[in-house]
């Protein structure tokens, strides 16, 4: 029987390894994520550029199939995206079947095919940003690299779900669709990137996150 896990992620666009963090919670969460064969995920993103006076709301519904034999990103997926804003709007669907991909742009009434399939082109879809695919690869790397910090904060409620709260603090990098991406050595200055990750106490799967 197919198993789908639905989560709502809210996106809003301090170094020691772990400070009072129960890392076993994150270890079990990664195990749960690795065991998933199918899931759906809703992502809502609010973007504001004060210099260009632009506001955009992005809604993504992502469906993933981890039974894929694909070796590029390890999943087949369908990402339905809706963008609304003061100077940009539209609906699109990006599909990757494990071998080839295409994108439907409904407002323009076109289908884009023949797209190059690599990690960058497949993982740049809105729904793939900080998805399960991101966290299940980034968390183990953070736990094994003392340049990053994991700080457990007070438990909270996210979308009516009792959740553990962790601050993930990445040095000279950020969490991308396929894990941690590092700034080129030439430009590294010790800057820190923080993500607040919420873990459902019952399922031990992510219940949401805030990207600062």
Residue 92 forms part of a structural domain: yes
HSE value, Cβ hemisphere, 13 Å, CA-based, for 130 = 26
Domain that residue 203 falls in: 6-211
What is 149-202 written as a DSSP string?
Answer: EEEEEEEEEETTEEEEEEEEEEESEEEETTEEEE--GGG----EEEEEEEEETT
Length of the chain: 212
Tens of pLDDT along the chain (212 residues)?
Answer: 333 334 444 433 333 444 567 899 999 999 999 999 998 888 888 877 777 677 888 899 999 998 988 778 888 999 999 999 876 779 999 999 988 899 999 999 999 987 778 777 887 788 887 677 889 889 999 998 888 999 999 999 998 999 999 999 999 888 877 778 788 888 888 888 899 999 999 999 998 888 87
CATH of the domain at 115: 2.50.20
95 burial level (CB within 10 Å; 0-12, 13-18, 19+): middle
Residue 165 forms part of a structural domain: yes
* Backbone dihedral angles phi then psi of residue 42, each to the nearest 5 degrees: -105, 130
Angstrom distance (rounded) from CA 64 to CA 138: 18
Angstrom distance (rounded) from CA 123 to CA 152: 28
Residue 1 forms part of a structural domain: no
- Could you give the 3-state DSSP secondary structure of residue 16? coil
User: What total number of domains does the chain contain?
Assistant: 1
Residue 80 forms part of a structural domain: yes
């Amino acid at each position: 029987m197919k198993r789908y896990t639905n989560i709502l992620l809210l996106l809003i666009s301090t170094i020691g390894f772990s400070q009072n963090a129960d890392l076993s919670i994150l270890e079990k969460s990664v195990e749960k994520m690795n065991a998933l064969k199918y899931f759906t995920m809703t992502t809502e993103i609010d973007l504001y550029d004060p210099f260009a006076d632009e506001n955009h709301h992005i809604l993504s519904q992502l469906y993933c199939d981890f039974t894929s034999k694909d070796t590029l990103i390890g999943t087949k997926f369908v990402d339905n995206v809706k963008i609304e804003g003061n100077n940009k709007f539209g609906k699109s669907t990006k599909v990757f079947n494990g071998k080839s991909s295409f994108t439907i742009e409904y407002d323009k009434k076109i289908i884009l095919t023949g797209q190059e399939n690599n990690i960058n082109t497949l993982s740049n879809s809105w729904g793939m940003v900080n998805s399960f695919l991101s966290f299940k690869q980034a968390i183990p790397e953070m736990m094994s690299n003392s340049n990053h910090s994991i700080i457990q904060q007070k438990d909270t409620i996210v979308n009516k779900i009792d959740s553990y709260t962790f601050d993930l603090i990445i040095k000279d990098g950020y969490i991308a669709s396929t894990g941690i991406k590092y700034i080129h050595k030439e430009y590294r200055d010790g800057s820190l990137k923080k993500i607040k990750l919420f873990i459902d106490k019952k399922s031990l799967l992510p219940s949401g996150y805030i990207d600062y």
